Amino acid sequence: MTRYTGIIDHYRAFLPLAPETPAVSLGEGNTPLIECINMPRQLGLDIRLFLKFEGLNPTGSFKDRGMTMAVTKAKEEGSEMVICAS
């Protein structure tokens, strides 16, 4: 089994990046799906509902997924610094 290296490497074939561009990554993504048992029952629904636990990303935010692409692309285009409001 290979070690997970982040969302850029996982989806690189579908992203607008040059093959030689290194990913700027903290290892974001690959967060678990957790089955939510009570909510469907309380709503009277006969379904299985899963929630994505994005709090397990490196900074605890779903924003990690998008920012890895933004920073990688900025680096590819020559940026030396990136400022991000949270």
Asked whether 73 and 17 are in contact (CB, 8 A), the reply is yes
Mean pLDDT of 64-74: 95
Determine if the pTM surpasses 0.85. no
**Integer Cα distance of 31 and 52 in angstroms:** 7
Percent of the chain at pLDDT above 70? 100
Ramachandran area for residue 30 (φ above 0: left; ψ -120 to 50: alpha; else beta): left
* 21, 40, 46, 85 from 76: Cα distances, Å: 6, 45, 47, 21
Average pLDDT of the chain, as a whole number:
94
Question: Where exactly are the structural domains of the chain?
Answer: 7-76
